[in-house]
Structure 1
């Protein structure tokens, strides 16, 4: 966050305390205006010319920066993909436990990759069917991002949390 005298641009596009557009002015004028209102001049982006700046109270600038950081905390690109391994020969109770674990992960906001270990083509088809059943059971918590993939000795499907 660049503010006050650290802004090196000769001109800035200023937004007032209440969000009103004050237009383009020299950085000196904008700093004088900030001192007059006893607030900070904060640069919001360096990608445009002249850079957009806001007049913000000192505490509000920090709070806004923390809020932006908090919002970006669970963005889709920051999601973790948790892998849950299952075997086709599992008992029903163990399957239910793994399903509950997947629910918890999806509720938390992370993605789940279900990997079902199978042996042979007959189990592969049954494993795909089981993966579809799991996806339907977890439908209220997440959506499939990939189709059910059967490759050799495993069946894989990934679920992302519903936003």
Structure 2
């Protein structure tokens, strides 16, 4: 993102404040328009000729750049481990922890360690967690029982 006088191109493809296409304008004219309207001239890319530029407030431009960077980052996968004999308070704590992770935009892997014949209890536990978290995350996979653990992955909505 390049602002105002730092744009070195001789002309730019200009877009107005409300998204209207103004067309190809010399950089000096575009800067004059920006000063007249008390906004910034923001060049979004130097890959094309003439480069695209927009008239917008500086705060808006910085916020858009930050949001674009956030969107580029792939969501991380965080694991939360549980046991089938979990107490109510611990269950609530783990649920709140999963909620926070999903709200932050990351995926959650809920894993229940299983010993012996606890597979059914582990499945029930995961089903209730998935049901409670359905407003913030949707299951990527079904509940998978394999050997010594039961797991399900939730992706943010």
Deviation track 1:74-105 (CA, whole Å, cap 9, x = no partner) reads 64845444322111233344334423433344
Deviation track 1:87-143 (CA, whole Å, cap 9, x = no partner) reads 1233344334423433344345443221100124x3334423432232123223321
TM-score by length of 1: 0.71
Counterpart position of 2:30 = 30
Counterpart position of 2:135 = 140
Counterpart position of 1:43 = 43
Residue among 123, 129, 137 paired with 2:118: 123
Asked whether the 8 Å contact 2:7–2:43 carries over to 1, the reply is yes
Segments of 5+ residues of structure 2 without an aligned counterpart are none
Deviation track 1:15-67 (CA, whole Å, cap 9, x = no partner) reads 345544331133344345556666543212223322111244xxx22x01332
Q: The residue matched to 2:67 in structure 1 has which SS?
A: helix
Segments of 5+ residues of structure 1 without an aligned counterpart are none
* Aligned: 1:68 with 2:64: yes
Distance 1:50 1:40 in 2: 18
Count of residue pairs the alignment pairs up:
157
Asked whether the 8 Å contact 2:42–2:61 carries over to 1, the reply is no
* Aligned: 1:21 with 2:21: yes
More deviation in 21-30 or 74-83? 74-83
Counterpart position of 1:150 = 145
Distance 1:156 1:81 in 2: 13
CA 1:145–1:66: 2 relative to 1, 3 Å = same
CA 1:91–1:10: 2 relative to 1, 3 Å = same
Asked whether the 8 Å contact 1:127–1:155 carries over to 2, the reply is yes
Distance 2:45 2:132 in 1: 45
Distance 1:116 1:76 in 2: 31
